[in-house]
Structure 1
Amino acid sequence: MDISFTNLKDQIFLAITQYGGKILLALIVFIIGRKVIAKASQVLGSKMNKSNFDKDVQPFLISLVSVALNIMLLLSCAGILGIQTTSFVAVLGAAGLAVGLALQGSLSNFAGGVLILIFKPYKVGDLISAQGFTGTVESVQIFNTILVTPDNKTLILPNGALATSAITNISGKGTIRVDMVFAVGNQNSLASVKKAFTNAVKLCPTALQNMEHDILLNSMTENALKFDVRVWTNSENYWATYYGVTELVYEHLKKEGIEAPKIHLNLHQLS
């Protein structure tokens, strides 16, 4: 009995002598590592705030960095204890590959959402055209972007496709030019037609009067004069300006006595 107890004490002493230093070192590395990771996460959050990073993406990125650093810390501690991490990393990599292949589309949309939130090719409230659709951005989610069309339909577009395709941010500059084409009869005076268009633009409440608008003769046909009328407005007033100017043009053309193009019919009598 005494011999067995002596052997047990010898084994415990040997284990402490052989592994005690490693355990202590691993514990110290873990404690210090956790403090360093917490400080790094705090510094990262502070840098993001100073760089005007999107408030929605900040927690996600900080959590992602924190998880990655904690995994590296655990693997380092396991290596200090003498635990073989090669097989563990291989299994983890294989599992990650399998999950990635199974969720390939979702991961693509996830990555696209992160890129959109970081680089901001558009933001909530912008009028954009992408993937053959045009609408106002209602929300930018991690997997999808929600658009509302001018006729109040909701479009859900995957971020993966948006992040890798051409996007036209129609309202990104804050002001936008509304391009319209009108036709009048070629029997009308050029000066009177331009006067009617000019007065219509001046009376449009959403047209920006501090910017230069264009009224240009586009083309002439045998019975019509076609004019380009280009009016500047704030982005959110695009459609109000388009329809407002159209109505005012009609009223002022009528007021000035401007006639519409006349249709000429050529009749040939067959003998």
Structure 2
Amino acid sequence: MDSVLNWLNENSGLILHYGIQAVVALVIFLIGSRVAKFCSNLTEKGFAKKKVDKAVGSFVASIVFTLVFAVTILMALSQIGIETTSFIAILGAAGLAVGLALQGSLSNFASGVLIILLRPFKSGDFVEAGGKMGTVKKIEIFSTELRTPDNKVIIVPNSQIMSGAITNFSRESTRRIDLVIGVGYDADLRQAKEVLKSVLDAETRLLKDPAYTVAVNELGDSSVNFVVRPWVNSADYWPTYWSLMENIKIALDDADINIPFPQMDVHLHKQD
């Protein structure tokens, strides 16, 4: 017992020094844990405020927590005199190995982050992305879920989406319908134009501004081609498109204006 007391008396300064370091390290650990949790919650709330998919927000928040917590542990270990350089080297090597093994998944994750930051589309938008077309249902960590008009679900990797062109059909409130209507060369073009205009004027879903366009666009091989370009609200695009196609055909038939099909004239020459 005396020897223990003597040792404590002889090393009291050293014990006090390491005790203070241990207390400081504990304080750093506790404060760092709270900071990591705060940053994680702040990140998740920020994603939720921007109406980003909850799974994405939770995943990014967990990454933020892990990074801040790892820095806290390294700071605490460094405070009590433990060399952290070797730990950092080991973590770096492990991170490199994992990165090489999961480079495809990391590419999808990075592309998912870009989708969240750049916001080329959101849930509910009808898009063409990654060579696929459909309504965006979910924007997840590694992939985006699309639903086609015939109710098929397509899972598209995020890297495939970000590596190509993205067409968002829902971002703008209005769209233009582009129709090409061919009439025969024997048709009265003025009459044909008035028939097309009468069909457009009767369609209540068309917008007055911008005004529609009806013009001769091409003298084709088998027909004179009109372009018919009215504007509608995006939600009315397909119902209006189908209605116009049907009504234009009926109106041209009623006016005895022929819509020709592709044809070829063959001339035969008899040789003796």
In the TM superposition, what is the alpha-carbon distance from 1:154 to its structure 2 partner?
2.8
The superposition leaves residues 229-251 of structure 1 with CA deviations (integer Å, 9 ceiling, x where unpaired) of 11222333333232221111111
Counterparts of 1:264 and 1:72, CA distance in 2: 77
Matches within 5 A, 1:56-135: 56=54, 57-135=56-134
Counterparts of 1:69 and 1:245, CA distance in 2: 60
Report which stretch shifted further, 159-168 or 23-32.
23-32
- The aligned counterpart of 1:211 is 210
Counterparts of 2:221 and 2:33, CA distance in 1: 82
1:243 paired with 2:233, answer no
- The aligned counterpart of 2:23 is 24
Paired AA for residue 100 in structure 1? G
- The aligned counterpart of 2:195 is 196
- The aligned counterpart of 1:54 is 52
Counterparts of 1:48 and 1:178, CA distance in 2: 36
Counterparts of 1:34 and 1:152, CA distance in 2: 46
In the TM superposition, what is the alpha-carbon distance from 1:155 to its structure 2 partner?
2.2
Paired AA for residue 93 in structure 2? A
The superposition leaves residues 202-244 of structure 1 with CA deviations (integer Å, 9 ceiling, x where unpaired) of 3445433443111121112465211111122233333323222
In the TM superposition, what is the alpha-carbon distance from 1:138 to its structure 2 partner?
2.6
Q: For the aligned residues, what is the CA RMSD?
A: 2.8
The superposition leaves residues 90-129 of structure 1 with CA deviations (integer Å, 9 ceiling, x where unpaired) of 1111111111111111111112112212221011222222
In the TM superposition, what is the alpha-carbon distance from 1:73 to its structure 2 partner?
1.3
- The aligned counterpart of 2:252 is 253
Counterparts of 1:43 and 1:136, CA distance in 2: 30
1:254/1:37 CA distance change after superposition, 3 Å: same
Paired AA for residue 225 in structure 2? K
Matches within 5 A, 1:166-177: 166-177=165-176
In the TM superposition, what is the alpha-carbon distance from 1:5 to its structure 2 partner?
3.6
Counterparts of 1:99 and 1:169, CA distance in 2: 35
Counterparts of 2:42 and 2:138, CA distance in 1: 29
Answer whether contact 1:204 1:248 (CA < 8 A) is retained: no
1:96/1:212 CA distance change after superposition, 3 Å: same
Aligned sequence identity (%):
37
In the TM superposition, what is the alpha-carbon distance from 1:48 to its structure 2 partner?
5.9
Paired AA for residue 219 in structure 2? M
Report which stretch shifted further, 107-116 or 73-82.
107-116
- The aligned counterpart of 1:270 is 270
Query: Alignment partner of 2:136: what SS?
Result: strand
Paired AA for residue 265 in structure 1? D
Answer whether contact 2:59 2:141 (CA < 8 A) is retained: no
Report which stretch shifted further, 3-12 or 199-208.
3-12
The superposition leaves residues 120-177 of structure 1 with CA deviations (integer Å, 9 ceiling, x where unpaired) of 1011222222333332223222211122334443322100121232212233212221
Report which stretch shifted further, 206-215 or 6-15.
6-15
Answer whether contact 1:181 1:227 (CA < 8 A) is retained: yes
Query: Alignment partner of 2:230: what SS?
Result: strand
Alignment gaps of 5+ in structure 2: none
1:162 paired with 2:170, answer no
Query: Alignment partner of 1:121: what SS?
Result: coil
Counterparts of 2:147 and 2:53, CA distance in 1: 23
Paired AA for residue 180 in structure 2? V
Query: Alignment partner of 1:208: what SS?
Result: coil
In the TM superposition, what is the alpha-carbon distance from 1:188 to its structure 2 partner?
1.4
Counterparts of 1:202 and 1:190, CA distance in 2: 18
Answer whether contact 2:199 2:248 (CA < 8 A) is retained: yes
Counterparts of 1:86 and 1:201, CA distance in 2: 75
Query: Alignment partner of 1:83: what SS?
Result: coil
TM, length-normalised to structure 1: 0.85
Query: Alignment partner of 2:179: what SS?
Result: strand
Answer whether contact 1:215 1:229 (CA < 8 A) is retained: yes
In the TM superposition, what is the alpha-carbon distance from 1:63 to its structure 2 partner?
3.2
Alignment gaps of 5+ in structure 1: none
Paired AA for residue 245 in structure 1? L
The superposition leaves residues 58-117 of structure 1 with CA deviations (integer Å, 9 ceiling, x where unpaired) of 444333323211211111111010001111111111111111111111111112112212
Report which stretch shifted further, 19-28 or 218-227.
218-227
Answer whether contact 1:202 1:209 (CA < 8 A) is retained: no
